[in-house]
Amino acid sequence: MGGHIDEATAGIAMIEAGGNAIDALVAAAFVGFVVEPASCGIGGYGRLAVRLGRDGRFVTFDHYVRAPGAARPDMFELDRERPMKYYGFPYTVGLRAEEGPLAPAVPGAVAGLCDAHAMFGRLKLAQVLEPAIAAAEAGIPVDWGLRLTILDRIATIRRLPATAQWLLRDGLPPSSSDRLDGTDLARTLRRIAAEGKRGFYEGPVAEAIERTVVGAGGILTAKDLAGYRTRILEERPGRYRDVSYITAYDQVTYEALNILDNFDLKRFGRDSLAFRHLVAEALACGFADSMTHYGDPDFEKSPVEGLASAAFGRARAAGLSLERTLPRPVRAADPWPYDSAAERPKRISDERAIARLEGTSQMAAADREGNVCALCTSLTSGFGSLMYVPGAGVMLNNSMQNFDPRPDQLNRIKPGKMPIFGVPAMVASRDGRPLFAGCGSGGYRITTGVMHAFLHAVDFGLGAQAAVDAPRVHCQGQQTAVDPRIPREVREGLARLGHTVVVEGESPRANPYGRVNAIVIDKDGVMRSGSGPAWSTGAAAC
């Protein structure tokens, strides 16, 4: 299952060919890189969570972007005329971190998926990539979503000749009967199928990326690409009720669930004011604390494990009230007293471990062996930086904007560093059996969408589609976005408690609660999948 029907079809084909859930997810992801070029691609990144059926281990493949070697904390001038981003930090002058040649960071998508497949896949990589290569050779269909994204960014596209040549027809978006040329992308995919990740990070593709970016005034080089490494972690699972889970090292979701674990949400009921209030407060705390304290632990002194600590969640929960909200904007608490090196996940070497072991789109997969996996994959913005690489078919991310451009912040830019990525890819088990996989797209609203699906499945016993469809609230510490399907009396109750309620509904032009895919597996091993919202291209299959 994934963000497009062709992704689900590719995943099913791998299972039918004798592959496992990891084969299915990797096949689906690479097809997504073709058919959802505005949302994800081989020039992007992601996080992949895996729960292994044979031994119940949880492994995360953190293949987020890294800053190029020539990056500096002060490389961008701050735009003080614009309001702060909803990510919590300022825009840059000329949108240089958001679009154009300085916006791409070192992409991790190919490395992360190839590493996961090398460790846990069963089929040959060439077979797993066959559906993506075929899709690229057939050309990329232009649907209404693709046209809308092109229209949203058409002024910048017109300023970039290679991008305009690929995306526009006589200066305008292509028609719905047209197809984008996938010839160059198919050639790159065939190189990856034959050579693995080196087919992307070394040789002609890496050289073409450097030539395009540096030639336009950017700093991403072939040396940066050759030096990319996936962060592979054997995570210590969190605990919610009687469920073990990981979030692919997303501290926001760990904290929010650690807070909510202290309240009997089932007793309150899923349509209650208390449930909506507590979820909004837990999300607000999680975002406020991570935005203040999170920094890549390989580069910064940051209480990353404290943010995910159950004890910190209990302390935060003790400060919540059912009668009123926390003061807005929500202030960060201090997770340092709860930080412990003993809680850090085990690092798995990405070089020695690549030999087979025994054993913002989204894809999730599960198989009869008990393997479950979930992936969030993205370019950051629609078509990323809009830097298209001719000859390679690569559209590069614009993820330098995910760093804080202020040099005094923990999320500041440093060469080789990963920025904050506050969204989960979740997998969970109960009593040693797989239970849940959830992932999404839509920026920080992914957290809201995936966590709501998880809560509705675990606390309220809903099936996968009903859990995905359930109305949601979202809060990052100030306003509280509320689905209009939530009854008026509950919305009015939230306002009385102190929430600044903003009613936001789903539409093709607005995605306030994330696009979500989820798999729920019952105690008899029966799998059910769900996808939503209804207007999206997401697809579910069993």
Which amino acid does the sequence have at 432? G
Backbone angles phi, psi at 499, to 5 degrees: -70, 140
Q: Is residue 523 exposed (0-12), middle (13-18) or buried (19+ Cβ within 10 Å)?
A: exposed
Share of the chain above pLDDT 90, in %: 87
The per-residue DSSP string of 231-281 comes to EEEEPPPEEETTEEEE-SS-HHHHHHHHHHTTS-HHHH-TTSHHHHHHHHH
Is residue 131 included in any domain, yes or no?
A: yes
Does a structural domain hold residue 496?
A: no
Element housing 26 (H / E)? helix 21-35
- How many whole angstroms separate alpha carbon 20 and alpha carbon 397? 29
How far apart CA 372 and CA 269 sit, in angstroms, is: 29
DSSP string over 292-322: HH---TTTS---HHHHT-HHHHHHHHHT--S
**Burial grade of 541 (CB within 10 A; 0-12, 13-18, 19 or more):** middle
What single DSSP character describes residue 331? Answer: P
**40 falls within a domain:** no
List b or e across 30-69, with b for residues whose CB sees 16 or more CB atoms inside 10 angstroms: bbbbbbbbbbbbbbbbbbbbbbbbeeeebbbbbbbbbbbe
Alpha-carbon dihedral angle through residues 441, 374, 384, 150, given to the nearest 10 degrees? -50
Q: Which residues of 462-494 are buried (b: 16+ CB within 10 A; e: fewer)?
A: bbbbbbbbbbbbbbbbebbbbbeebeeebbebb
* pLDDT, position 541: 56
What integer pLDDT is reported at residue 2 of this predicted model?
53
User: Does residue 297 lie within any of the structural domains?
Assistant: no
Q: Is 247 inside any structural domain?
A: no
Residue 260: per-residue pLDDT = 98
Span of 333-337, 386-390, 443-447, 492-496 with lowest mean pLDDT: 443-447
Q: What is the rounded average pLDDT of the residues 94-112?
A: 97
Residue 422's SS3 state is: coil
User: What is the residue range of 224's domain?
Assistant: 5-35+63-232+383-402
User: Could you tell me if residue 134 is inside a domain?
Assistant: yes
Whether 6 shows a pLDDT value over 80: the answer reads yes
Contact (Cβ atoms closer than 8 angstroms) between residue 23 and residue 130: no
By C-alpha distance, which of 422, 171, 194 is closest to 290? 422
Taking the C-alpha atoms of residue 487 and residue 275, their distance in angstroms, rounded to an integer, is 13
Q: What are the two backbone dihedrals, phi and then psi, of residue 297, each rounded to the nearest 5 degrees? A: -65, -15
Residue 263 covered by a domain: no
Mean pLDDT to the nearest integer, 270-279: 98
The per-residue pLDDT for 353 is 35
pTM value surpassing 0.85: yes
Q: pLDDT tens for residues 339-375?
A: 998 889 999 975 433 333 332 789 999 999 999 999 9
Q: Using the structure block, give the residue that is written with the tokens 């993506």.
A: 132
Over the Cα atoms of the chain, what is R_g?
22
Inform me whether the pLDDT recorded for 199 exceeds 60. yes
Marked catalytic residue, from 360, 447, 448, 480: 360
Assess whether pLDDT exceeds 60 at residue 197: yes
Which residues are CB-contacts of 133 (< 8 A; sequence separation ≥ 6)? 186, 189, 190, 193
**Which amino acid would we find at residue 492?**
E
Q: pLDDT: is 354 or 143 the higher one?
A: 143
DSSP letter for each residue of 380-392: SSTTTT--EETTT
- Total count of domains within the chain: 1
pLDDT at position 1 is 55
What rounded mean pLDDT belongs to the chain? Answer: 93
**Residue whose C-alpha is closest to residue 339's, from 290, 368, 304:** 304
Cβ atoms of 399 and 387 closer than 8 Å: no
Q: pLDDT value at position 360?
A: 77
Cis peptide leading into residue 327 (ω within 30°): no
Whether residue 230 lies in the annotated active site: no
Tens digits of residue pLDDT in 289-313 = 999 999 999 999 999 999 999 999 9
Distance CA 23, CA 11 (A): 7
Quick count: other Cβ atoms within 10 Å of Cβ 191? 17
pLDDT on residue 451? 97
Q: Is residue 185 part of a domain?
A: yes
Q: Is 510 a residue whose pLDDT tops 90?
A: no
Measured distance CA(207)–CA(292) in Å, rounded: 38
CB-CB neighbours of 216 under 10 Å:
13
Distance CA 363, CA 343 (A): 28
Q: How far apart, in whole angstroms, are the C-alpha atoms of residue 92 and residue 521?
A: 45
416: left (phi over 0), alpha (psi -120 to 50) or beta: left
Distance CA 367, CA 421 (A): 28
Provide the pLDDT for residue 354: 33
CB 250 within 8 A of CB 422: yes
373 or 525, greater pLDDT: 373
User: Is residue 261 scored above 90 in pLDDT?
Assistant: yes
- The mean per-residue pLDDT over the stretch 427-452 comes to 94
